[in-house]
Structure 1
Amino acid sequence: MKYLWTEDTGAGLHFWKLVNQLFFDDEFIVESKGSNQGLLDAVLDLDIKDDDKYYIAFDYVVDNQDIRNKYRVLKSIEKSSEGKIIILDMICFEYLILAFDQLVEWTGTGKTDKIKIREEVLKAVENHRINLLKIDDEKTLQYIAGFNRYSTERVMKSLAGEFTQNEKWSVKGSLMGECWYKDCCVSEHPDSLRCGKPEVEDGSGKMRMLIQSEKIKKILSIITEIQG
């Protein structure tokens, strides 16, 4: 059996299930372990059968010491698993949404200040962190300075939330917003751009575009290369 385990619940878990359905033709058993600790505990408790493979979607940023410690343990287990456990190379689900090149157009946000901050933050991402030395825009630095407990993941989650406040595009809650995966984007305000104007109206078509975006495609290539 092939398993894809995530720490995400709700919309994040829904995303991985849609990836499994649309990209892998339901080849995987997708499960949430509830948290990064739950994910680590599940891997530690594994009793791997000969034909099993486990793909682990662990949110990894280097500016959170607790996450770094858990990641080291996971990587050591991966190394001794003889290819049965594969850690996917990712920051977090919200980063994948934030980095999607159609995000601003599709969601129809009018927050020009946040659009600029998004651009600056994305340009500064390297090695699983935001390199603050690469940011010289004052408003972006002020936005980041506003976090009491700063980490790259917190910034990604907050910024992604700024662009997906419309419930139809939400990446919070029990499911992704309907506009991500249903055939049309229904808004109570049809004359406004609150719901954006996706160039593709077909639900599976929109999700396929998201899945084929650069950052997600890079993660999934790890799976396809191993399977190939």
Structure 2
Amino acid sequence: MPSKAYFWIEDRKGKAGFLFWKTLMRELCPDVIVESKKNNSELVKAVKALQDRNNQYIIVLDHAFDNLQVYREQKLLKTYADGKDNVFLLSIICFEYLLLEFDKLVDWIYAPDDEFLIKRAWAVKAREMLLPMIRSGELNYTSIREIVTNDNYKKEYNIEQLSARLLYDLTRNTGFEISKGKIGDCWIRSCCEWQERQEDDICGLENNRMSISEKMRAVYQGTSLSKEFSNAGLEVVL
């Protein structure tokens, strides 16, 4: 029997993260089976209990390095995975950060003359400040505090929470809106299949409409996913 590949995630079925990963894998790796383990702890337990050595398992656990509980779970996960050569861990902060780092994010969600570019200039700038710090690996917490102490943020956030909040602030009231419980249709459908689309809802893809397959390929190529999938030996349909 040919071996199978499983993609294990912590996100619950129906939630934004689950719908994103399900869509992405359907378009890029259609033979890979996406399974929800409901939460961090259950995902770690599943890897610990895994006895199967014939199939491939790709594991996605949020890598929020400044969240102590998540850090501990990451250490446990790595311990359980190290002895299993068919288990591969993806190093991804969270799916919200993945979309936040997407190189075409701002170009997609806003039309060139969109008033949101002015109204949300602070969020665009915050993103431009945050991404280089994360990518360099040399975190400047003073600069991060400058982002989170902005008048728009009144509480302390870890990197996962900050990524999710910033992505929401950039995408809210658009077809690309993302919150913990919702993912906009424009991330999981072909262009202009957004059911709640109004006549004046115009994004950066208005003159270059894309299929969902084209969108997912662009996300793959424009984020750290290409590196992570390559490290895990995942073959992608491009």
Q: Which residue does the alignment assign to 1:197? A: 205
Deviation at 1:80, TM superposition (A): 1.1
- CA RMSD, Structure 1 to Structure 2 (Å): 2.8
The count of corresponding residues between Structure 1 and Structure 2 is 221
1:96 equivalenced with 2:98 (yes/no)? yes
Q: Relative to structure 2, which stretch is displaced further, 55-64 or 165-174?
A: 165-174
Gaps of 5+ in 1: none
Q: Which residue does the alignment assign to 1:12? A: 17
What secondary structure is seen at the aligned counterpart in 1 of 2:219?
A: helix
What secondary structure is seen at the aligned counterpart in 1 of 2:8?
A: strand
TM-score (norm 1): 0.84
Q: Which residue does the alignment assign to 1:125? A: 134
Call closer, same or farther: CA 1:162–1:223 in 2, change over 3 Å. Answer: same
Distance 1:147 1:217 in 2: 35
Distance 2:63 2:55 in 1: 24
Deviation at 1:118, TM superposition (A): 0.8
Q: Which residue does the alignment assign to 1:143? A: 150
Call closer, same or farther: CA 1:173–1:67 in 2, change over 3 Å. Answer: closer
1:44 equivalenced with 2:42 (yes/no)? no
1:27-176 to structure 2, matched below 5 A, reads 27-48=31-52, 50-81=53-84, 83-108=85-110, 109-110=116-117, 111-126=120-135, 130-133=139-142, 135=143, 138=146, 140=147, 142-143=149-150, 146=153, 148-166=155-173, 168-172=175-179, 176=183
Deviation beyond 6 Å, 4+ runs, structure 1: none
Distance 2:151 2:158 in 1: 9
Superimposed CA distance per residue, residues 50-109 of structure 1 (whole angstroms, 9 cap, x where no aligned partner) = 31221100101221111111111111111111x121111111100001011111121114
Gaps of 5+ in 2: 111-115
* 1:125 and 1:131 in contact (8 A); partners too: no
Distance 2:176 2:162 in 1: 19
Deviation at 1:120, TM superposition (A): 0.5
TM-score (norm 2): 0.80
Distance 1:136 1:4 in 2: 32
Call closer, same or farther: CA 1:70–1:113 in 2, change over 3 Å. Answer: same
Q: Which residue does the alignment assign to 2:113? A: none
Distance 1:101 1:42 in 2: 34
- Percent of aligned positions that are identical: 29
Distance 1:179 1:11 in 2: 12
Amino acid in structure 1 at the alignment position of 2:8: W
Superimposed CA distance per residue, residues 141-188 of structure 1 (whole angstroms, 9 cap, x where no aligned partner) = 523994534311110010011122135213336663221232323564
Distance 2:162 2:216 in 1: 24
Distance 2:137 2:42 in 1: 21
Distance 2:173 2:42 in 1: 30
